[in-house]
């Protein structure tokens, strides 16, 4: 399966196209299984997409929303991915609270990771050693090619057995809780939304350098069954089509 790349003139266009793709994949999952599981990323780039999704009528009662990662801060903190998602998507779309599976950024990172893993195991009805298969995992990418909270050089990048872990993000001097590579690789569908000129070098590395996820964590799962990148022209400069 080749990796799809869609480049829009600007960040708003990339956000709109990614939102459209997510809705299509959600509809297919609901038609096939009666419900859909969507794991979303944080940072700043998704805000436009989340607002677009919140303004689009959809059967959110059939969608279970999970988080790809979280910063270990309270849900009221400006750095909280949950806060960003709640303000731009969850509240406006009236996603039922029971369908929102938040990472508890306000408690001890290791405990937050364990409780989130337990919630995922319960939701998917997993046996020991089984990996959850999200219908859609929405991922972003940092200027250093990190994805989720898997930063270059982090030993967790080689983990293929775990579901969730806590990790200390040195560059942000911050504890994070993140889904692990095994989960990203198991996703039925992966959509990346990446925009801005600060992502140019990392994108070139991900697509044009040899496979080395310890250096380019966003390469993880980039050869999966269904992977689509939604980019803006500023980010996609220098990418061979
Ligand atoms: C996070 C994210 C992270 C994000 C990248 C890109 O918690 O920060 O989940 O993986 O996707 O850092 O962030 P921007 O969109 O802000 O550039």
Work out the average pLDDT over 146-152: 98
DSSP three-state, residue 192: strand
Measured CA to CA in angstroms, residue 151 lies from 10, 11, 148, 229 at distances of: 26, 24, 8, 19
Measured CA to CA in angstroms, residue 3 lies from 18, 60, 111, 222, 223 at distances of: 14, 28, 36, 7, 7
Q: Indicate which residue's Cα is closest to atom 2 of ligand 1.
A: 42
Instruction: List, for residues 89-134, the tens digit of each pLDDT value.
Output: 999 999 999 999 999 999 999 999 999 999 999 999 999 999 999 9
Q: Give the position of tokens 């990172």.
A: 109
- As a whole number of angstroms, the distance between CA 191 and CA 177 comes to 20
Instruction: List, for residues 19-64, the tens digit of each pLDDT value.
Output: 999 999 999 999 999 999 999 999 999 999 999 999 999 999 999 9
Question: With a 6 A CB cut-off, is 42 part of the ligand 1 pocket?
Answer: yes
At 29, give phi and psi (nearest 5°): -65, -40
The predicted model scores a pTM of 0.97
Instruction: List, for residues 167-224, the tens digit of each pLDDT value.
Output: 999 999 999 999 999 999 999 999 999 999 999 999 999 999 999 999 999 999 877 6
41, 69, 73, best to mutate for ligand 1 pocket (most atoms within 8 Å of CB): 41
Question: With a 6 A CB cut-off, is 96 part of the ligand 1 pocket?
Answer: no
Question: With a 6 A CB cut-off, is 205 part of the ligand 1 pocket?
Answer: no
Whether the pLDDT of residue 241 is over 80: the answer is no
Dig out the tokens for 121 from the structure. 């195991």
Contact 181, 150 (CB under 8 A): yes
Ligand 1 atom closest to Cα of 198? Answer: 17
- As a whole number of angstroms, the distance between CA 153 and CA 4 comes to 27
Q: What is the largest CA-CA distance in the chain?
A: 46
Instruction: List, for residues 9-27, the tens digit of each pLDDT value.
Output: 999 999 999 999 999 999 9
Whether the pLDDT of residue 239 is over 90: the answer is no
Question: With a 6 A CB cut-off, is 45 part of the ligand 1 pocket?
Answer: yes
SS3 content of the chain, % helix, strand, coil (to 5): 40, 20, 40
CA of 94 from ligand 1 middle (Å) equals: 24
Q: Give the pLDDT of residue 225.
A: 72
Whether the pLDDT of residue 1 is over 60: the answer is no
Whether the pLDDT of residue 82 is over 90: the answer is yes
221: nearest Cα among 149, 147, 131: 147
Strands (E), the chain: 4-8, 36-40, 63-67, 69-71, 100-101, 136-139, 164-169, 174-179, 189-194, 227-232
Whether the pLDDT of residue 232 is over 80: the answer is yes
The residues, ordered by sequence, that sit 6+ positions from 186 with a Cβ below 8 Å of its Cβ are 131, 132, 133, 134
CA of 71 from ligand 1 middle (Å) equals: 10
CA of 131 from ligand 1 middle (Å) equals: 23
């Amino acid at each position: 399966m080749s990796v799809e790349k869609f480049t829009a003139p600007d960040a708003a266009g990339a956000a709109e196209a990614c939102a459209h793709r997510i809705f299509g994949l959600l509809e297919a999952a609901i038609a096939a299984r009666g419900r859909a599981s969507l794991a979303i990323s944080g940072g700043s780039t998704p805000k436009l997409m989340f607002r677009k999704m919140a303004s689009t009528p959809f059967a959110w009662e059939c969608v279970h929303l999970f988080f790809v990662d979280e910063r270990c801060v309270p849900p009221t903190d400006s750095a909280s991915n949950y806060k960003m998602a709640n303000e731009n998507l969850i509240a406006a779309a009236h996603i039922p609270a029971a369908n929102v599976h938040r990472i508890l950024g306000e408690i001890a990172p290791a405990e937050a990771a364990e409780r989130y893993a337990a919630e995922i195991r319960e939701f998917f009805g997993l046996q020991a050693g089984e990996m959850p298969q999200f219908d859609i995992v929405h991922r972003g990418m940092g200027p250093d090619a990190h994805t989720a909270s898997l930063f270059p050089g982090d030993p967790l990048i080689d983990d293929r057995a775990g579901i969730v872990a806590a990790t200390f993000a040195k560059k942000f001097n911050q504890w994070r809780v993140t889904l692990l590579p095994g989960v990203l690789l198991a996703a039925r569908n992966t959509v990346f939304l990446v925009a801005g000129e600060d992502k140019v070098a990392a994108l070139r590395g991900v697509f044009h350098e040899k496979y080395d996820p310890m250096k380019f964590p966003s390469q993880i799962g980039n050869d999966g069954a269904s992977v689509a990148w939604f980019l803006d022209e500023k980010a996609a400069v220098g990418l061979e089509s």
